[in-house]
Amino acid sequence: MESVRKALMALTLMGERGAMRLADIAEELDVARSTAHRLMVTMREAGFVIQPLGSRLYTLGPAFAGLTSAVVAHDDLIAAARPALAGLRRATEETVHLVTRLGADVYFLDGIEGPRTVRVGLKSGSRLPVIASAAGIAMLSLMTPERIERVIFLSRRVRSFDEGWLSDQVAAAQRAGYAVGLGLAYEDVHEVGVAFRYDPGNHMAALTVAAPASRIDAPRARELGLILRQSANSLAAQLSRLTK
C-alpha cells in the first residue's frame, strides 16, 4: 500500500537525518502537508515517532528503537545459538529449532533438519500460536501469572482453546523443566521444548526438538528434556557473558 511505503520512507528519513519538520517530511515524501500530518499522527499514536511538547520537530520514537534493538538481539542470539543447535542435532538425530515469542505467537528464528530420511521439516521464518507449540508452553512456564494471563488474553482473540488444558500443560512444564507437545500443530509431530532467559532486557527464547510422533514417547521426551535443558543452560550462560 502507498501509505505503508510513505511511512517507511519517513522513518528512513528520520533515521538518516534525525529530527525533521513536518514541511520537510511532506516535501521529501512529495505529499500535501495534511497527508504528512495524518501519517505522523498515526505513527505517533503507535509510538514510532515522537513530537516533544511545544516542538515542531518529529523524531524516531520508542517503538522504532525497540524494534531495531530486537532485531539486533535476534541476530546475536542466532549467531550464538548455532553451535548449540548443531550439538542438539548430533545428540538427538532429530530436527531442532531456536524459537522466540511475538505476542500470542512463537517465531522460529533458526533450525537444523535432522539427518534421518523420515524427519520433521524446518519451520525457520514461520509462526505458530504460543498455545500450539512446545516452545510456547515452555516459555509460558517461565512467566509470572500476570504475563501468562496477558498471553492468554491475546490468544483468545485469535482462536478458542481449553484454558484448563493450557494451565495443566504449563504446570507440567514447570514441574519437569521442559514442555511436551503431542500433535499440537501437526497431528503426526511430537516435540519437546525448553525455554531460557537471556540478555539484553531479560528476553526469552526456547530450544526444541521435533520428530515424527512414533519417535517421541514419554521416556524419550524425558531424555530429550534433559539434553535440551543442558543446552539451554549453557546457551543462556554464554549469552549472559557476551552482554557483560
pLDDT per residue as tens digits for the range 56-98: 888 777 566 555 555 545 667 888 899 999 999 999 999 999 9
**pLDDT value of position 53:** 60
**pLDDT value of position 226:** 97
pLDDT at 12 over 90: no
Mean local confidence (pLDDT), 33-47: 85
**pLDDT value of position 244:** 56
**CATH assignment at residue 12:** 1.10.10.10
Q: Of 73-87, 137-151, 216-230, where does the model show the most confidence?
A: 216-230
Q: Are residues 198 and 227 in the same domain?
A: yes
Number of domains in the chain: 2
Q: Are the CB atoms for 219 and 190 separated by under 8 Å?
A: no
pTM, two decimals, is 0.71
3-state secondary structure of 186: coil
Q: Which strands, in side-by-side order, build the sheet including 57-60? A: 20-21, 57-60, 49-50
Strand ranges for the chain from DSSP E:
20-21, 49-50, 57-60, 95-102, 105-112, 127-129, 179-182, 189-198, 203-212
Mean local confidence (pLDDT), 231-239: 91
Q: Are residues 47 and 92 in the same domain?
A: no
CA distance 82 to 101: 18
Q: Are residues 51 and 83 in the same domain?
A: no
pLDDT at 213 over 50: yes
Mean local confidence (pLDDT), 2-18: 80
CA distance 229 to 66: 29
Cell numbers for 149, please give them.
494471563
Q: For residue 171, what are the domain limits? A: 67-242
Q: Are residues 27 and 139 in the same domain?
A: no
Q: Are residues 98 and 195 in the same domain?
A: yes
Chain Cα centroid distance, residue 116: 28
Angle at 164 between CA 218 and CA 217, to 5 degrees: 10
Q: Are residues 76 and 102 in the same domain?
A: yes
